[in-house]
A and B are shown apart, each in its own frame.
Chain A
C-alpha cells in the first residue's frame, strides 16, 4: 500500500512516523513549505537568534531515508479519485498514485480584508516564508504594530522587541488573553508585557493600514479609536483558519475545515484529514499538541483499524516573554474565589489557580510555576477533592531545584 501525506507539519510527520512504526507500507510526504520537517513553535527562536533554522529540525536529515519515508518538496495541485484509486498531481508536473491520502495541510492566517493589508511590510507569522519575510521587513525598521492578543501575537511582539523595534500591540479584549484567562492571570500577563516596554493598547482593534507616499511600504495604522500609530512593520496575528482549498477543489466535503468523523475519515474513501485543517462534528481543534495526537491516531486507524479518537484531558502551554504558562483541564475565565483556589507570590509574577466544581478539582493553571502534567491530569481524571490537591500540591510542582516554594 502507498500512503501519501500532504503536509509535513507536526500532524503529517507524526502520522508518517507512526505509520512506519506500525507497518511496512510505502510512505510519501509532500510539502510545499519546507523540504524537511521543522518545529513550528520554534520559529520565534530563529527570529530572535536563539537558534538557527537547522536547530529547529527535530530529526537529522538521514532519519527519513533510514526509515523509508520519502520526502517531496513540491506542491499538490490536484487530488482525484477513480476506480483505480487515488491520483495526485504535483506542480512539478509529476503524478503519484496512492491507495491512501492524509490531508495535513494545516492552517493559514485569518485576515479580515483590512484596507492596506497587502502593503509591503505587512505580514503574518505562521509559515517558514513569514520567517524569511520578517528578516527583510525588520531591516532598517524602527516601529512595529502587532495586531492580535493571542499566542502568536505575543510571540510576534517578543520577536520584534528582541530585534530592537518599538512595538505597539492592538488587543481587542480589555486584558491580555482575557477571553481565556481569569482576571488575575490576565492582569499578571498584561503588566508583564507592558513592563517589557511593549505599548499595549487594550480594547483596541485595527481599522486600516496606510502606506507611505508613492504607494510604498506601510507607514502607519489607524486604530479603531482613530489613533494613528507609526509602523514600518505590521504583523497581523488575528488567528488562523484551516487550509482547505485543495480539499475543496478535490471534491471533499468542507466547511471551515475538511469535514471528518471521529476516525479522521473524510467524505472520500481512503482519504483522511488531521491537524489544523480538519473539522470534527464539534468543530476544529487547532492546537499543536492536538495535531500531534491526530497524527498518531490516524496511523492507528489506518493500520490497526482503531476506533474513535478520544481527546484526553485538555492541556496547553505558552511563554509570554519570561513568564511560562501551563494549564491542565478546565479553568473558566470567570473563575473567582467561589469556584477556585488562587495563590500568587509576593512579586506577583508567579501564580497557581486550582478550579473546582463543588469541591471537585477540574483544572490546574500555573503562571511562572511549572506543573507536572501526570499529577495534575491524574487529579482531574480521578475527581480529586480540592482539599487533597491543596494538601498534596508539592507533588505537582515541576520547578527547578532550589526554586521558592509554592504554597497554594
Chain B
C-alpha cells in the first residue's frame, strides 16, 4: 500500500483503507499525531521556535493584514492551506457525488473568506478582527458584555453590523436553519473546525470509536462542556451587571480556565492532534458546545433525519465504519429505523458508502 496517495484516488472507493499505516493507527499515524500535537503546543504556549517560520510569511502578512506575521497568522495560513489542499483531494475523491462537491466547495470558500481573508482585511482597516462564521458558544466571548455593548452601542456601522450579526446568528438563524436542515448547515458546510475535519481529516474518519461506551462518554462530556460555557457566560454577565457580587472576582478566572482547558487544550491540541488516532471529529463529538446546542435542536426540533430504505440493509457496516462521529448507523438501518442522532453532522458519507442505497439525508 502507498504511504501517501500521490495518484488521483478512485472515486468513492476505500480500497486498502484498513491496511494503510497512515489511516489505521500505524507508526506513521502516531508520528503525525505527535507532530500535530507538538505544533499546537508551540503555537499556544511556546511560540519562539516558530518565529523563523512565521517570518517567511511576512510578505503575505504585510499584503493581507498590513503587519508582520505572528504565530497566529502562521497558524491561520497553515490551517487554511490544509483545508484548501485536502479539499481538492476531497473533491477528487467524491467527485461523482454532487452533495460532497457542493459541501466541500462551500467549506473551502467559507474558510478562505470568513476565517482568513476577511479577518485579515478587517485588521488591516484597523477594525476589530471578527469571524463571521463563528458564533456563541463556539466563540463564547462573542456574547460577552464587553463585545455586545461595544458592538451595539458603537456609532461605527461595521461594529454595529458585527453585533447585529452575532446576536442574530446565535438567537435566530441557528434554531431556524437547524430546524430546516439539521446541524449539518453549520458543522459540515460552514464551520472552520468542520472544514478541517471534512478535508484534512477525511482519511482518518474510520478511526472514530463506535462502541456504546464511547457514546455514553460523548454525551456526558459534550453536555458538560456546554454547561460550563453557559456558566462562564452567565458569570461574566453577572459580574458585569453587579460588580459588587461575591462571584464577580472569579468570573474572569473561570473564563481563563475555560479558555485554557476547552479552547486551547481540547479543541486545538487534542481536537486536531488526535486526528490520526481517533478520527477527525474528536472535538466536535466530545467537546464542542456549539455541536451540543445544534445537536439538541437537531434531535428535538428539526426536520432533518437520515432515512432508511425499507428492508434493503444488508448489515454490512460500511456506514458505521466510515462514520466520523462514531454513530453505529447500521444499528438503525438494519432495523429499518430512521437515524435521528444529535451528534450527526450530516456529512453524508454513510449514504455514499452504502452499497445498497439504503440511506438518504432528508429534511422532511
Taking a contact as CB atoms under 8 Å apart, the answer to whether A317 and B360 are in contact is no
The docked-state distance in angstroms from the alpha carbon of A42 to that of B312 is: 14
Taking a contact as CB atoms under 8 Å apart, the answer to whether A48 and B314 are in contact is no
Q: B156 on the interface (CB 8 Å rule)?
A: no
Q: B15 on the interface (CB 8 Å rule)?
A: yes
With A48-B14, A51-B317, A373-B311 given, is the CB distance from A402 to B357 under 8 Å?
Answer: no
The docked-state distance in angstroms from the alpha carbon of A317 to that of B360 is: 16
Taking a contact as CB atoms under 8 Å apart, the answer to whether A315 and B310 are in contact is yes
Taking a contact as CB atoms under 8 Å apart, the answer to whether B316 and A42 are in contact is yes
B328 to chain A, nearest CB (A): 9
Taking CB atoms and an 8 Å cut-off, the chain B residues in 161-217 that contact chain A are: 211-212
Residues from chain A with Cβ under 8 Å of B318 in the complex: 42, 45, 50-51
Residues from chain B with Cβ under 8 Å of A371 in the complex: 357
With A400-B97, A400-B352, A402-B99 given, is the CB distance from A315 to B312 under 8 Å?
Answer: yes
Q: B361 on the interface (CB 8 Å rule)?
A: yes
Secondary structure of the B contact surface, majority rule: loop
Q: A299 on the interface (CB 8 Å rule)?
A: no
A–B pairs, 6, beta carbons within 8 Å: A45-B316, A49-B19, A50-B318, A60-B212, A324-B355, A370-B357
A368 to chain B, nearest CB (A): 10
Taking a contact as CB atoms under 8 Å apart, the answer to whether A401 and B309 are in contact is no
A66 to chain B, nearest CB (A): 10
Taking CB atoms and an 8 Å cut-off, the chain A residues in 353-408 that contact chain B are: 370-374, 377, 398-403
Taking a contact as CB atoms under 8 Å apart, the answer to whether A403 and B316 are in contact is no
With A326-B357, A398-B357, A400-B99 given, is the CB distance from A50 to B17 under 8 Å?
Answer: yes
Residues from chain B with Cβ under 8 Å of A401 in the complex: 98-99, 361
Complex A-B, nearest 9 residue pairs according to Cβ-Cβ distance, in ascending order: A373-B310, A370-B357, A42-B316, A402-B98, A50-B14, A41-B314, A49-B16, A39-B315, A319-B355
Taking a contact as CB atoms under 8 Å apart, the answer to whether B98 and A55 are in contact is no
Residues from chain A with Cβ under 8 Å of B315 in the complex: 10, 39, 41-42, 58
Q: B158 on the interface (CB 8 Å rule)?
A: no
Closest to A52 in B: B18
State the B residues within 8 Å of A (CB).
Answer: 1, 11-20, 96-99, 102, 211-212, 309-312, 314-318, 320-321, 330-331, 334, 348, 351-353, 355-357, 360-361
With A49-B16, A315-B312 given, is the CB distance from A42 to B317 under 8 Å?
Answer: yes
B145 to chain A, nearest CB (A): 41
Residues from chain A with Cβ under 8 Å of B314 in the complex: 39, 41-42, 288, 317
Residues from chain B with Cβ under 8 Å of A317 in the complex: 312, 314, 356-357
Taking a contact as CB atoms under 8 Å apart, the answer to whether B321 and A51 are in contact is yes
Residues from chain A with Cβ under 8 Å of B353 in the complex: 50
Residues from chain A with Cβ under 8 Å of B330 in the complex: 58
B184 to chain A, nearest CB (A): 11
Q: A280 on the interface (CB 8 Å rule)?
A: no
- Out of A10, A41, A48, A372, name the residue touching B15 (CB < 8 Å): A48
Q: A342 on the interface (CB 8 Å rule)?
A: no
With A49-B17, A52-B18, A319-B356 given, is the CB distance from A377 to B310 under 8 Å?
Answer: yes
Taking a contact as CB atoms under 8 Å apart, the answer to whether B317 and A49 are in contact is no
A313 to chain B, nearest CB (A): 10
- Out of A41, A50, A377, A398, name the residue touching B18 (CB < 8 Å): A50
The docked-state distance in angstroms from the alpha carbon of A60 to that of B356 is: 23
The docked-state distance in angstroms from the alpha carbon of A289 to that of B355 is: 15
Contact with B along A44-62 (1 / 0, CB 8 A): 0110111110011110100
Taking a contact as CB atoms under 8 Å apart, the answer to whether A55 and B320 are in contact is yes
- Out of A42, A45, A57, A402, name the residue touching B102 (CB < 8 Å): A402
Closest to A10 in B: B315
Taking CB atoms and an 8 Å cut-off, the chain A residues in 288-312 that contact chain B are: 288-289, 292
A167 to chain B, nearest CB (A): 14
Residues from chain A with Cβ under 8 Å of B321 in the complex: 50-52, 55
A239 to chain B, nearest CB (A): 19
Residues from chain B with Cβ under 8 Å of A377 in the complex: 310
